[in-house]
Chain A
Amino acid sequence: MSTPSAGPRPSVFKRILPQLVILAVALALNVVVFPDFFHIDFRNGRLFGNLIDVLNRGAPVALLCIGMTLVIATKGIDLSVGAVMAIAGAVAASMVVEGHGWGTALLAAMAAGGLCGLWNGFLVAVLRIQPIVATLVLMVAGRGIAQLVTEGKILTFDNAGLIHLGAGTVAGVPTPILIWIALGALVTFVVRRTALGMLIEAIGINERSSRLAGINSRVLLVCVYLVSGLCAALAGVIVAADIKGADANNAGLWLELDAILAVVIGGNSLLGGRFSIVASLIGALIIQSVNSVILLSGLPPEFNLVIKALLILGILVIQSPRIGNYVYMLRASDIQPQPDRPKPIDHQEKEAAR
């Protein structure tokens, strides 16, 4: 989806296949609870349908998980992204309320997010504080900073340009969808067409070895937290623009956890190393599809969290190594019908077992 090259290489497809299957199942569940799920029409100058909602509402988590994937690839984690969203939204809102243009507001918000990312990067890469602790600082303090900016209220604005980023459309497609797809494609392109991706994976797998091989791990670490901060800032601006107001208390609340979950559903290890941004983005869509099932089911809200937890649990169980092995064994047992009492294998079967 966001692979910029002309058609993904087979290995990329193989990597994201489990996520695509789960996404298909999640979308199928939507159809079960709401048969018209895939119906899209053009209304009021914009594409209108549940599928569009999934893509549109998935935007904040999708944006967050782009940066989060890189951070997690370095064996880190960024808990502050939700709070950074609130800060960026508050900064953008206060800028337009003070009469600046939407471009200036967007730049200021991105600068604020970038600053937050640099701060996290400084704590992690230079002071060597554990990432979970280092980013916890801003997770707690960030919301307070956002409240200071908005003076504790929902800062409402009516700057058309800024609102367009969250609630507008381009050629009928809601802007946030275009933004996250474009950013996902851009970052994927940059990390895979340069050596950045490989170097990030290297420091995530073994930072000591990487440093000894001459990799500047410190700068790279700061970079990934910077990217995470910028992604969070963009998500924050979109969320604020969507409701025409910066809600410092609620903007991005708990979204860091959804972003981490998206990365995990995307099959990326929390222990760092090999990563796939595309898979994380599909993970974000899977989460949004699950949310959509809940909303469309019409069940009382008391069931929301239980249903979400069960569906997510199911997804994670399916992805677990043990189940993976089991599936592998099942396939192997097609060749060897009696796994308990292995008979001597002749040469042909050996070939097949490869």
Chain B
Amino acid sequence: MTLKTTLLASAIALAPVAALAADLTIGFSQIGSESGWRAAETTVTKQEAEKRGIDLKFADAQQKQENQIKAIRSFIAQGVDAILVAPVVATGWDEVLEEAADAEIPVVLLDRTVDADESLYLTAVTSDLVHEGKVAGEWLANEMAGEDCRIVELQGTTGSSPAIDRKAGFEQGIAGHDNLEIVRSQTGDFTRAQGKVVMESFLKAEGGENICALYAHNDDMAVGAIQAIKEAGLKPGEDIKIVAIDAVPDAHKAIAAGEMNATIELTPNMAGPALDALEAYLANGTEPAKWIQTESKLFTSADDNMAIFNMKKDLGY
């Protein structure tokens, strides 16, 4: 696939733009590049567009809604065929979405939804944060197969929706398994450094040998926690099972090294399903569902994690 994309990319680079005039032109207003995942999403979106021969006009809003609105207006003025938006906030979109609707340009929301009338956008492609947590919980329940297990949890930033939803999902996933118990839960702010610090305190407060599993709301915290577990003289992945969410390259590497057990992918490929839906809609007017849920794929040591790592490491994570 990588080879194919590269070839295609060079083909596009070589071919004059006019030769593709018949193809679709799509505007993409991205939030910015505040995280590795966001950077990967941008990369994958560009790859997906290239793969389909779409002329992608990219605009980086640098975390500002007014920049996004400006970008969307400029896309409308250029007469693009469709617009992809990863909205930075939920409110304040009605006016510009109406302008797009008036110009009959379909808008697809990526990654996040907005508080606007459903008729103003074609569809929203997002992951289901609760579902991700649930997959993690169910994996652990399966893995333990009835054995008693004291779990510690590294939460995301307190009050953020991923932290709330991934916690709720995990609790759903382990519901009904009385052998599983969350004994400590504290925020690690989604960062490696805090993940390590908080895990250190868990290890001391509970005693490393009394902890059977760690659930982290993202991989970065899990990677930090792995180091804390190693420094405490325990074997991460064996003495303490570790499951986290996001499937960033370093998590695959850790799974490959046997230091982590599972990760659930928050795919950066929001554009793939979005472009599929757009192409179908523009070709024959097929109305997609208002919400396209991306797959929350589970990766464990059963997968070829090194191969996935090598594929993902250049996406910009």
Contact = CB atoms under 8 A, between A and B. Distances in A.
Interface stretch (B9-17, B22-30, B182-190): B182-190
Given A44-B231, A243-B192, A243-B193, A156 B250 contact: yes
B316 interface: yes
A301 B231 contact: no
Contacts of B159: 302
B275 to A, nearest CB: 24
A301 B187 contact: yes
Contact of A243 (B34, B185, B227): B227
Contact of B191 (A48, A167, A247): A247
B198 to A, nearest CB: 6
Nearest to B205: A296
- Indicate the size class of the contact surface on chain A: 35 or more
A250 B233 contact: no
B224 interface: yes
A296 B191 contact: no
A203 to B, nearest CB: 36
B182 to A, nearest CB: 11
Contact of B205 (A34, A152, A153): A34
Contacts of A242: 193, 196, 227
B317 to A, nearest CB: 6
Contacts of B223: 243, 245
A269 interface: no
A152 B250 CA distance: 15
Interface in A179-219: none
B196 to A, nearest CB: 6
Nearest to B159: A302
B36 A295 contact: no
A247 B39 contact: no
A53 B228 CA distance: 11
Chain A interface, >50% SS class: mixed
Nearest to A244: B227
A130 interface: no
Residue of A53, A154, A247, A304 with most partner-chain B CB within 10 A: A154
A159 to B, nearest CB: 15
A152 B189 contact: no
A250 B186 contact: no
A36 B223 CA distance: 27
Interface string A29-49: 000001010000001101011
Given A48-B232, A167-B227, A243-B224, A296 B317 contact: no
Contact of A46 (B33, B158, B224, B231): B231
B171 interface: no
B4 interface: no
Contacts of B317: 153-154
B201 interface: yes
B43 to A, nearest CB: 11
Given A53-B204, A247-B191, A295-B198, A301 B233 contact: no
B192 A152 contact: no
A165 B199 CA distance: 20
A152 B39 contact: yes
Interface string A100-114: 000000000000000
B220 interface: yes
B39 A153 contact: yes
7 contacts: A53-B204, A57-B200, A152-B33, A242-B193, A292-B201, A298-B205, A301-B155
Given A48-B233, A250-B189, A295-B186, 8 more contacts: A43-B232, A152-B36, A242-B193, A243-B192, A247-B192, A292-B201, A295-B205, A301-B155
Interface of B: 33-36, 39, 155, 158-159, 184-187, 189, 191-194, 196-198, 200-201, 204-205, 220, 223-224, 227, 231-233, 250, 316-317
Q: Which 9 A-B pairs have the closest CB atoms?
A: A44-B233, A301-B187, A295-B201, A243-B192, A250-B191, A153-B36, A301-B158, A43-B233, A152-B33
